[in-house]
Structure 1
């Protein structure tokens, strides 16, 4: 009788996936990213939008254009007439994105890439000394090979 090999089940695969270290790291990054996004949103809404609004007449989120007149918002019914284009909200979201991207790049990505570049340079420096040894060993092995080929060649000629 042939034995059937038991295939790993879905549950086993899921457990292996969860036990990988990068899944936990990703979860931590998502939680910290969400908290950081709240901070950036607060800065944009509380500081940048009012500063931009100070140059105009209203808060940045309130800037809009009307595609089809009349653009009015009825607070009593909660309806809007016309077709408003809320470009201030888009500009606010764009500023939030740019600030978030700049902070992530300058405080996380750039220092990490510099650190990794230093690590690679150290590793290459260590490998550089090993390569000298490996190259000389390679040369010795080539010489041995050539000597064996020469011996084998001379042995065949004498027959």
Structure 2
């Protein structure tokens, strides 16, 4: 009896893994992890040097002192004051925006255009069938109207 239960558990687990959603999610995680390296390279190699033309290439060094005088120890760690690290927030925001833009323009937009084309093709195929059905319906209505007109004219003559 336990062999049958184990078999059904393994079959259920296999069915779970083979579902489209799980496989799609696994692919998305792997691609996302690989894509993170590309985005980080773009930020380090392009964005940071562009920002570095104005100031420093390390966005993490941009900060403001909110309370008191901010001082750093010999090793660079803050020793006094309340420091707002807005440069690291800016860097993370730029990384997010670049990632979102690349995902949208290279993945989402082409896929939505492809799906729209597929839907248009399907609608065109179904539209042709509807035109044929509509024209047949129109012909039948005309025949009906002609028969009604003949009957009506026949009754008026008597």
Q: TM-score, normalised by structure 2?
A: 0.70
Q: Which runs of 5+ in 1 are unaligned?
A: 1-8, 140-159
Larger helix share, 1 or 2: 2
SS of match in other structure, 2:87: helix
Q: Look up the match of 2:67.
A: 68
Structure 2 gap segments, 5+ residues each? 1-7, 139-158
Task: Find out whether 1:29 has 2:28 as its counterpart.
Answer: yes
Partner of 2:147: none
Compute the displacement of 1:70 (Å). 2.7
The answer to whether the aligner puts 1:87 opposite 2:90 as a matched pair is: no
Once the two structures are superposed, what CA deviation does each residue of 1:84-138 show, in whole Å capped at 9, x if it has no partner?
Answer: 1000110111111111111111111111111111000000011112224555788
Question: Contact 1:40 / 1:99 at 8 angstroms: preserved in 2?
Answer: yes
Deviation at 1:46, TM superposition (A): 2.9
Whether the aligned pair in 2 keeps the contact of 1:49 and 1:61 (CA below 8 Å) is no
SS in 2 for 1:56: coil
Q: Distance in 2 between matches of 1:75 and 1:20?
A: 56
**RMSD, aligned α-carbons:** 3.1
Deviation at 1:41, TM superposition (A): 1.4
**CA contact 1:50–1:60 (8 Å) conserved in 2:** no
> What aligned pairs does 1:5-154 form with structure 2 within 5 A after superposition?
14-57=13-56, 59-76=58-75, 78=77, 80-134=79-133
Cα gap change, 1:77/1:103 in structure 2, threshold over 3 Å: closer, same or farther? closer
Deviates more, 1:127-136 or 1:32-41: 127-136
Number of residue-to-residue matches in the alignment: 135
TM-score (norm 1): 0.69
